[in-house]
Amino acid sequence: MIQAIGLTSIARKEQPPALDNVSFEAHAGRVTALLGAPGAGKTTALRLMLELQRGRGVTYFRGRPLHRIPHPAHEVGVLLGDVPGHPGRSVRGHLRMLCAASGVPARRADEVLEAVGLVSLRDERLGTLSRGMDRRLGLACALLPDPHTLVLDDPARGLAAGERRWLYDMLREHAAQGGTVLCSTADPKEATRFADHVVTLDCGRVVADQRAADFARTRLRPRVVVRSPHAARLSVLLAQRARSAQRSVEVVREGGNRLCVYGSTCAEVGETAFRNGIVVHQLAEEIGDMGPGAGTGAEASAAPGFPPSPAAIDVQSGHDAEPEAAAAPEPEGVAVPGSGAEPGASVSASDSDLQPEPSTPVPDPGTEREASTSASDSGAEPEPSTPAPDSDPQPEPSNSAPAPESAPAASPLPQPIHKTPHGGVPQAAPPHHPTTPRPSFVTLPPPVLVRPAPTPLRPVRYELRRAAGVATGYIVGACVLAVSALAAVVLARIGHTPQPRLLAAWPVELPLPPAALGAGLLGALAFGDEFRHPALAVDRGTVPRRLGLLTAKLFVASLTALALAVLTVGCTAEVLYLVYGSELVALPEDWPALTAGWLALVTGCAWAGVLAAGVFRSTTAGLAAVVAVPLLVVPVVHKVSEGPSARGPAPFAGRLRDGLPLRWPFGGEQHLEALLRLLAQPVGGAMALSVLALLCAYAFTGLRSRVR
């Protein structure tokens, strides 16, 4: 279960906080709806619960806060906003990358795709998916590591009625298997249909925390819709019966032969029509908004995600009645003769009696009731009422358990709020939550029975799939090779360029060669592109954004930079050989030191891009940090190195050899001297200082986020 205690956001300047001391619970085996108008604080509450936003309060997931859970993705599946992924990545590649991040087998991606119905679209790009397919993929990402808890932020926004029904069936199926589901929504009717418990937020505060049945009874207004050719006469009879029983019943005529009766039930209306010989073409229970004129059948059926009004059945002919083609006109109140009531007003002798009492119809074996009741369940077909007039047609809260004391005796509520999640065996519900099983047409992916032990290679596998899953890296590499080859040919034609710089396609006028800039860009994309299109569902994923993920990114960036450096030299050498012959591609005498310096320069640029993008969370900032090294740091290092020094002229390696009693094994002083020679160069020293400074900044930001 989820326990949110005292969630409070940090207020900005003099404005009130978006969330103020919000506390609620979401129990296992239920679907809990977080209801509120736009701006009520639903998204802020979810972000505070997932520790994605700074604030006060604590949230426990099965007794532990999120930062105390070793693998959060195995506990909580999250979908906030759109699907977090690069639009150029394929559906299957995106899920396989998340499999590597979550530590589940790669075949799990195919299982989840089959469960959400995206097998035929597994090779499509994320940017080409429709809204409904995007929501399905988001649910697949949340279900991928087989979490116990699902936290979804308005997942049905913008979906058609069929897609909404499928999505809510999946959520109820997950709850039926013992999971916890917390889902935000802005539609109260929707919350009544898919949720078992509703937590209402208003202006950042909890204003109601109640069962869906109680919410529908208090927030939404049940009504009985009647269609009859004698609507005027039936309205007068209903008002007279309400006055005689001293009950608050409101009858509103909505034009034609349609009546809306508030405060009564199908049983009472049908009995009145039966006793007075009035033909009824439709008799159905609906849930409307507050007020007699809001939420009519036409408006409800046109609303997104709201199922159409129950089909009326003509008892005499046995065929479906024709639905209304246009919206009903403004409701006209039915004035009761002799009562002095105004049109549309309630007819009651006692305003305190708001709930209808069950009535016992008089048996009449020779006549059958001319009415049919149809449940307002989404997608359910209307069923004709039983012909026995002495049976009470009021819906019971449960097939086996009696109605609780807090529930009304005859509650005209839609059926979905009284049944278990689709497809599952009816769970043992609390006493206040009666259930009714219903067949299912959705299946969840199979559970993950065996999880591989976490290994240091898991972040590396994730990073390899992330880097190789999009064409950006290949495009950047091809552009670097083409620009380097062209620049080498032009420099060889112009002349006055040393051979080492010619092989690297590094003009004297440019601060960095194309290969170094390309490596820096790929390194910046490793973090910056992930912040633009997050690969993980939440920032606190199974791949930690600390040492493990940083090491994997630096390792993969180093491999990419080394491959790019080697390919650049090989490509330029081959092009120069084909154009000018072999005199320009001869190896220089000090080629080992030059090779080491070249590889170190390209790798350092890649590392600087990774660290800068991780610190500033931007690809542009990462690339700017790479370019700033030769433009800003190199002049400073060059000026410091050319200044007067009090040190002796003896080299540092010689002083180490003479000062230490033991000799360096295997000529280690020579390698150390070569390394120091590289660092003594302005570019090498500047790159080393920049990488060290960025590494310290990354560690500082990581520790700060960890402390808060």
Lowest mean pLDDT among 246-250, 301-305, 460-464: 301-305
CB contact at 8 A, 20 and 205: yes
Given strand 2-9, what is the order of strands in its sheet? 22-26, 2-9, 55-61
CA gyration radius, the chain = 36
Residue 81: predicted pLDDT: 82
Confidence at residue 193, expressed as pLDDT on a 0 to 100 scale: 87
Q: How many CB atoms lie within 10 A of CB 633?
A: 20
The pLDDT value recorded for residue 556 is 94
pLDDT in tens, 540-584: 545 555 678 888 999 999 999 999 999 999 999 999 999 988 888
pLDDT in tens, 181-226: 999 999 888 898 899 999 999 999 999 999 998 888 777 777 888 9
Question: What is the structure's pLDDT at 672?
Answer: 52
Give the C-alpha distances (Å, rounded to integers) separating 212 from 4, 377, 413, 419. Answer: 19, 14, 10, 11
What is the rounded average pLDDT of the residues 115-143? 92
**Which range scores top for mean pLDDT: 46-50, 309-313, 316-320, 499-503?**
46-50
Average pLDDT of the segment spanning 165-194: 92
The angle subtended at Cα 533 by Cα 102 and Cα 471, nearest 5°, is: 95
pLDDT interval class at 378 (50, 70, 90): very low
Query: Is residue 27 predicted with pLDDT exceeding 90?
Result: yes
Q: SS3 letters for 624-649? A: HHHHHHHHHHHHHHHHHHHCCCCCCC
Complete domains list, the chain, with CATH: 2-216 (3.40.50.300), 220-422 (no CATH), 457-707 (no CATH)
pLDDT tens, position by position, 261-270 = 888 889 989 9
pTM, two decimal places: 0.69
Phi and psi at residue 294, in whole multiples of 5°?
-95, 150
* Residue 315 confidence (pLDDT) above 90: no
Closest residue by Cα to residue 207 from 199, 196, 215: 199
Three-class DSSP category at 213? helix
Is pLDDT above 60 for 314?
no
Q: What pLDDT is attached to residue 438?
A: 46
Please, which pLDDT band fits residue 11 given cuts at 50, 70 and 90? confident
Q: Which residue has better confidence, 308 or 676? A: 676
Model confidence at 313: pLDDT above 90:
no
Give whichever of 23-27, 302-306, 310-314, 407-411 has the largest mean pLDDT.
Answer: 23-27
Each residue of 331-343: pLDDT tens digit?
A: 333 333 333 333 3
- What's the CA gap between 183 and 199, in Å, rounded? 10
Asked whether the predicted pLDDT for residue 347 surpasses 70, the reply is no
DSSP 504-545: TT--TTSSS-HHHHHHHHHHHHHHHHHHHS-SSSSSS-SS-T
Which pLDDT score is estimated for 708? 44
Residue 518: predicted pLDDT: 94
Is residue 21 within 8 A of residue 6, CB to CB? The reply is yes
| pLDDT above 50: residue 363 | no
Strands 221-227 and 282-288: antiparallel
Is the pLDDT confidence value at 252 over 70? yes
For residues 261 and 234, the answer to whether their CB atoms sit within 8 Å is no
- 177/445 Cα distance (integer angstroms): 12
Q: Tell me which residue of 72, 76, 70, 73 sits closest to 97, measured CA to CA.
A: 73
- The structure tokens 């449960």 sit at 398
> What's the pLDDT score for residue 581?
85
Per-residue pLDDT band for 328 (boundaries 50, 70, 90) equals very low
Higher pLDDT, residue 429 or 689? 689
Write the single-letter amino acid at 375: A
Q: Which of 350-359, 366-375, 473-482 has the highest mean pLDDT?
A: 473-482
Torsion of CA 574, 578, 580, 581, to 10 degrees: 80
* Separation CA 213–CA 221 (nearest Å): 12
What is the pLDDT at residue 679? 53
> Strands 332-333, 373-374: parallel, antiparallel or unpaired by DSSP?
unpaired
Check residue 403 and give its pLDDT.
Answer: 37
**pLDDT given at position 360:** 35
Please provide the size of the chain in residues: 708
652-687: pLDDT as tens digits: 445 545 554 445 555 555 555 555 555 556 566 677
- Average pLDDT of the chain is 74
Residue 114: pLDDT over 90: yes
pLDDT at 80: 87
